């Protein structure tokens, strides 16, 4: 059995805030991408192009869902940290809270997938415009 890593509450809180800000940015960016796709739908009528556009629309919908799920998970972690801090105020500066490696891995995976999607989307724009 592996040892549970411990982290400082403040460090975990800062990381959660950073992730929440990143997710907000990604959600806004997806809205911009979708707006651009709407413009493309009006410009192109070829089935193949429209199928590609629809694929990206679906992927953007999924990315927004994942962002919402991750925001929810971050909120749960924040509440747990706040509850722990209220119950143990003297421990706030010590590395006493179990690290959130699982959420860190999910965020890293999301970043990779989003980066690849954005790269593919930009290739589509370059090809069409």
| Residue 76, in any domain of the structure | yes
List, for residues 44-97, the tens digit of each pLDDT value. 999 999 999 999 999 999 999 999 999 999 999 999 888 888 888 777 666 666
Residue in the block written with tokens 């006493």:
96
CATH number of the domain that 81 lies in?
A: 1.20.1270
| Residue 61, in any domain of the structure | yes
**Quick one: which of 34, 35, 70, 39 has its CA closest to 55?**
34
Write out the residue range of the structural domain in which residue 50 sits: 6-128
Q: How many domains does the chain have?
A: 1
| Residue 98, in any domain of the structure | yes
> For residue 78, how many C-alpha atoms fall within 13 Å in the half-sphere facing its CB?
13
| Residue 116, in any domain of the structure | yes
| Residue 15, in any domain of the structure | yes
| Residue environment code for 45-79, b if the CB has 16+ CB neighbours within 10 A, otherwise e | eeeebeebbeebeebbeebeebbeebeebbeebee
| Residue 19, in any domain of the structure | yes
Question: Predicted confidence band at 10 (pLDDT cuts at 50, 70, 90)?
Answer: confident
In angstroms, the Cα distances linking 50 to 17, 40, 87, 114 are: 38, 9, 56, 21
| Residue 1, in any domain of the structure | no
Q: What is the pLDDT of residue 4?
A: 62
| Residue 88, in any domain of the structure | yes
**Quick one: which of 2, 5, 14 has its CA closest to 95?**
5
């Amino acid at each position: 059995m592996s040892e549970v890593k411990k982290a400082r509450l403040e460090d975990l809180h800062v990381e959660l805030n950073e992730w929440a800000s990143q997710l907000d940015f990604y959600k806004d960016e997806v809205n911009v991408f979708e707006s651009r796709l709407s413009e493309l739908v009006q410009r192109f009528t070829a089935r193949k192009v429209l199928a590609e556009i629809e694929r990206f629309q679906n992927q953007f919908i999924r990315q927004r869902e994942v962002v919402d799920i991750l925001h929810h998970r971050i909120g749960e972690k924040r509440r747990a940290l706040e509850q722990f801090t209220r119950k143990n105020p003297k421990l706030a500066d010590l590395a006493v809270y179990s690290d959130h490696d699982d959420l860190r891995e999910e965020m890293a995976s999301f970043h990779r997938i989003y980066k690849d999607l954005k790269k593919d989307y930009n290739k589509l724009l370059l090809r069409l415009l």
